[in-house]
Amino acid sequence: MAAPMNEPPLTPAALAACIDHTLLKPDATPADIERLCAQAVRFGFKAVCVNPWHLSLAVRCLRNSAPAAITVAGFPLGASQTLVKAREAGLAVEQGAAEVDMVLNIGALKAGEMALVRQDIFEVVQACGPAPVKVILETCLLTDAEKELACRLAVDAGAAFVKTSTGFSSGGATEADVRLLRSIVGPQIGVKASGGIRTLDDALRLLAAGADRLGASASVRMITELTTGGGA
């Protein structure tokens, strides 16, 4: 995919700085996390995103390195009780998480329980203190009207990012959803695209649509493709 006219081509370093190098599979081992962190350091990824059980290991592996260690809360369903979700997020920050990606309460949103959804996000944001919170909307399960409402609740509750997907439901990030989320939250709130981002072309299209962060497990492949001239 060609870079837009009048814009310089995206460099491998610039792309890497947008990527949360992610491994959230339930069968991931400590050796897998160590490999993930080594790749993040080698390629200059923004962060690694791992499940809470692996967070302490990721923090140790990345100590004195540029990539941050981040984790998830209420993952992947968003159906944990708010007290549990907030405690999970707060504990993650205590253990060294630089950011927390939480799943909103999808069922409550669809049921119209707006106060509950906002409070759920707000309590996680408060538990994380200065650490930014990304709110995963699971866009494949929502109507456009629900996506807009979820974005507005997330912003109102103090979230730093809205995020498309967990990667564990029936669909992932789409250009249309990224454009919609960006149009709703404006330039002051981050938009993270995640789920199904497997190629350099996927990454470039989603960045062009308005994402400023990508969650991906195929990160090394995309950087290698860009380095060798693919997708330019």
* Beta pairing partners, 195: none
Q: How many residues does the chain have?
A: 232
Tell me whether residue 110 is one of the annotated catalytic residues: no
Token readout for 220 is 């090394």
Q: Are 193 and 215 in contact (CB under 8 A)?
A: yes
Tell me whether residue 134 is one of the annotated catalytic residues: no
Tell me whether residue 163 is one of the annotated catalytic residues: yes
Q: Which of 120, 134, 163, 177 is catalytic?
A: 163
Q: Are 120 and 154 in contact (CB under 8 A)?
A: no
Check the CA dihedral 184-45-95-63 and report its sign: negative
Q: Which of 46, 134, 147, 192 is catalytic?
A: 192
Q: Which of 46, 85, 101, 177 is catalytic?
A: 101
Active-site positions read 101, 163, 192
